[in-house]
Amino acid sequence: MLDYEEEAERYDTSRGGEPRARAAADAVLDLVPERARDLLDVACGTGIVTRRFAAARAGLRVTGVDLAASMTRMAAARLPGAVVRADSRRLPFAGARFDAVVSVWLLHLLPGPEEVRAVIGECARVLRPGGVYVTTVHKGASHNVGSDIDAILAARPPSPVPDAPGTVDAAAAAHGLVPAGRARFEGQGRSPRRTIEDLRRGWFVTLPPGGPLAERFAALLAALPDQDRPRPDPVFSLRAYRKPEHGNPAGDGGD
């Protein structure tokens, strides 16, 4: 797995930079009620998306939290005084503190369903009644765009999918959250050369960098044409869940 302490400096440029951040923030805010006044961004990373939440809506107070010290430092430079270093499974906030809680590109990094339930449980705990939790689901599938790169990578050992939609739905329901909407946004397509770089940095959890299997895939990717041409952009999926008001368990329903 990637070392996110080391990834911080290159994270933004290697993940689509400002265009991807803008697309992510816009899609998330489409699912956050206009009345929201306090938003928590869990696993905020470098803060490149987080700061867009604050800039997009006057009066929206935004707090970011991330476990990686290097990420937290970068995010704090973008949102001074509004970023905390903490584990998403043990958020350092009182219950019912936020009107909206967001976790973009987090659940897929967790070891399994138990950790997913723990993180979603914490997000639900700090959410006020009537508030909304928004998260990405099945990130791995988003990257499969049917390209020649995907055709090669299809033969690699399968990766676990802790953020499968069914897993996330079940965890949300277990913590009293009900479906409240869905959205999608585009990311940045990979080129063969960039995919090889990602492979050798530990992006693919079932292909440990430096091993013979990883290098076999690297050689196949290196044989593809147009090494620096990005393939089609991935489309990421968001799901929103609402914490019912007291005495009103009925949900809005998803789409």
User: Above 70 in pLDDT, residue 222?
Assistant: yes
- CA-closest candidate to residue 73, choices 49, 110, 45, 95: 45
Of 101, 98, 119, which Cα lies nearest the Cα of 110? 119
* More reliable by pLDDT, 17 or 83: 83
Tokens of 254: 């998803």
Q: How far is CA 175 from the centre of its chain?
A: 20
Q: Which pLDDT tens digit goes with each residue over 117-160? A: 999 999 999 999 999 999 999 998 998 999 999 999 999 999 88
| pTM over 0.75, yes/no | yes
pLDDT tens digits along 212-221: 999 999 999 9
Domain boundaries, the chain: 8-145+159-190+232-243, 191-229
Q: Which CATH superfamily is domain 8-145+159-190+232-243 in?
A: Vaccinia Virus protein VP39 (3.40.50.150)
